[in-house]
Amino acid sequence: MVVLQFFTSCSEDFLEVDPKAIQIETSYYSNAEEAFNGLVATYDPIGWDGTSNYGNFAVLNAASDDNFGGGGSSADVPHLNLMNSFQVDPANGPHPDFWDKNFRGISRANTILARLNEEIPGLEEDLRRRFIAEAKFLRAHYNFDLVRLFANVPLITTPLEQGEIYNIVQADPEEVYAQIEKDLTEAIAEPNLPGTIPTDTEGGRVTKPASQALLGKIYLYQEKWTQAATELSEVNGIPGGTSQYGNFLLPDFADIFRPDNKFNAESIFEIGHTSIAASGWGNTSLVEGLIAVQMFGPRSYNGPTYYSGWGGAPITPSLIRALEGDPRFDETIVDIQALVEAGEASYVPGYQDTGYFIRKFAPLQDFRATGGGAPPLNYPQNYIEIRLADTYLMEAEALVQGGGDILRAAALLNAVRARVGLEPVEPTLENIYRERRLELATEGHRFLDLVRTGRASQVLAPFGFNSGKNELLPIPLEELNNTQMVQNPGY
């Protein structure tokens, strides 16, 4: 069991200055154990799913053409439906949760980095340097989430005093990206950041390949094609083989997402969840299970394999058509309507119901929590944020865009296809983009891919997407009060 999953705190407004970080700074770091606890606190916000987001990747799914918002009605799961219809405004939507969790994480990263530069009794030098590398990765991760969702955000690299918060200004996005690159480059260069870890005791901790994969992705977002391809190639190794870190494409696509196959060989950076914490309804933003699992299940379901859920993020006809005939269909999409028509199940259709639901994170009966707490909040599925098929396709895209090795691009693309028994195709951008959609469907990548490649205005226009506005989320309304920050365009 991963200790990094169990450090939680209440979430206050970012501009109140993180009180947990202040407590950590004043009360911890007198020995090695307390330094490790401070690192755990820095990891913690990665797993927060927001007060009404019910899985941060769930609302990103709803913003794509792969999923609707769903739920019992248009008002039932408001964050998903506001994202799906592009009706988010400064006061309403999932953006305060994204803003809070990431700035909370940055605050904690800045705190521990400041203290790790001082002598901590009993903390050995190799551990201190590993902790620093992990904290720099985490700060980069939090900043990346912010800059790609909001673009215009403050860049904070040192602990803040209470009086400083009202004078914060937004940085140029290029400055934020430069800091992210600096943090990741320094983390990668650190010899004490491991290439592999014992997943039974350290699963979810930062590794060198996770840092390289994230840096490659950062370069991809900035269209630094050669740098992206170079960094990602270090992670990928020989297409279809085993990488230098032991990663490989799992032979069975279905095995990637099984709750009893966590931190598998395809996983590069994975966010842990567990049923052991027995989370309750007191604060759903900080539960230790993957609450999106409950969100994605069909409403009032009675039948085999699955438990009832809340009907969120039903599959769109567009994705159903795109995956028709693809070997990944049944492991990506659940056809509940077919079970109903066969007399094997029943359910209550919800808002925007299509009869098709997310399979990769479905509420499976075999993994229903039984150890206390609220079962809907305690599904043990992890969320794999970066996996090898993703990095293969990112490198292939960078090679094609940058005029690199086209044969390697083809090998990367077609290794992903060969894993599920599909014939090779030419390594064109259209084919790579299509493969990303089908391979990574419902994993939270599609909307961000459409935005970064400039295709969102065309693909998402039928959902209400407004070019020049909906590429970004608004700055939360409460963050503009008594500060120097300004709102994003269009809001």
Q: How far apart are CA 323 and CA 149, in angstroms?
A: 28
What does the pLDDT look like over 261-289, one tens digit per residue? 999 999 999 999 887 777 777 766 667 88
Q: Which two tokens stand for residue 41?
A: 């606190």
Nearest Cα neighbor of 307 from 378, 368, 372, 379 is: 368
pLDDT grade for 20, boundaries at 50, 70 and 90? low
Q: pLDDT higher for 53 or 221?
A: 221
> Average of pLDDT values for 72-92?
95
Residue 452 CA to chain centroid, in angstroms? 16
Is residue 23 scored above 80 in pLDDT?
Answer: no
Q: Which two tokens stand for residue 149?
A: 């969702």
Domain boundaries, the chain: 1-50+94-193+465-491, 212-268+386-453, 290-383
Q: How far apart are CA 452 and CA 394, in angstroms?
A: 12
Secondary structure of residue 312 in the 3-state scheme: strand
Residue 31 CA to chain centroid, in angstroms? 32
The interaxial angle of helices 429-439 and 388-401, nearest 10 deg, is 170
Name the maximum alpha-carbon separation found in the chain: 67
pLDDT grade for 27, boundaries at 50, 70 and 90? low
What does the pLDDT look like over 138-170, one tens digit per residue? 999 999 999 999 999 999 999 988 778 788 899
Is residue 491 scored above 50 in pLDDT?
Answer: yes
pLDDT of residue 135: 98
Is residue 428 scored above 80 in pLDDT?
Answer: yes
Backbone angles phi, psi at 470, to 5 degrees: -80, 0
- Are 486 and 171 in contact by the 8 Å Cβ rule? The answer is no
> Average of pLDDT values for 75-87?
95
pLDDT of residue 276: 79
pLDDT of residue 12: 33
Given CA atoms 188, 191, 192, 194 in this order, what sign does their dihedral have? positive
The CATH label, of 3.20.20.10, 1.10.630.10, 1.25.40.390, 3.40.1160.10, for the domain at 212-268+386-453 is: 1.25.40.390
Q: How far apart are CA 233 and CA 243, in angstroms?
A: 9
Alpha helices, DSSP H, located in 86-207: 95-116, 125-150, 173-189, 199-202
pTM score:
0.94
CB-based contacts of 80-84 (< 8 A; 24+ apart in sequence): 80/54, 80/295, 80/312, 80/313, 81/351, 83/59, 84/352, 84/463
H and E: helices and strands count for the chain: 20, 4
When computed from its CA atoms, the radius of gyration of the chain, rounded to whole angstroms, is 22
298-312, 374-388, 451-465, range with the lowest pLDDT: 374-388
- Are 88 and 14 in contact by the 8 Å Cβ rule? The answer is no
pLDDT of residue 139: 98
pLDDT of residue 490: 97
If you search the block for the tokens 């260069």, which residue do you land on? 189
What does the pLDDT look like over 300-345, one tens digit per residue? 999 999 999 999 999 999 999 999 999 999 999 999 999 999 999 9
Mean pLDDT of the chain, nearest integer: 92
Is residue 24 scored above 80 in pLDDT?
Answer: no
Amino acid found at 115: R
Q: How far apart are CA 358 and CA 339, in angstroms?
A: 15
pLDDT of residue 438: 98
pLDDT of residue 15: 33
pLDDT of residue 14: 35
Secondary structure of residue 349 in the 3-state scheme: coil
Q: Which residues contact 237 (CB under 8 A, 6 or more apart)?
A: 243, 244, 247
DSSP string spanning 55-101?
SHHHHHHHTSSSB--BSSSTTTSHHHHHHHHT--BTTBSSHHHHHHH
Question: H or E element: which one contains 209?
Answer: helix 208-221
What does the pLDDT look like over 394-411, one tens digit per residue? 999 999 999 999 999 999
The CATH label, of 1.25.40.890, 3.40.50.620, 3.65.10.10, 1.10.10.10, for the domain at 1-50+94-193+465-491 is: 1.25.40.890
Is residue 346 scored above 60 in pLDDT?
Answer: yes
Is residue 13 scored above 70 in pLDDT?
Answer: no
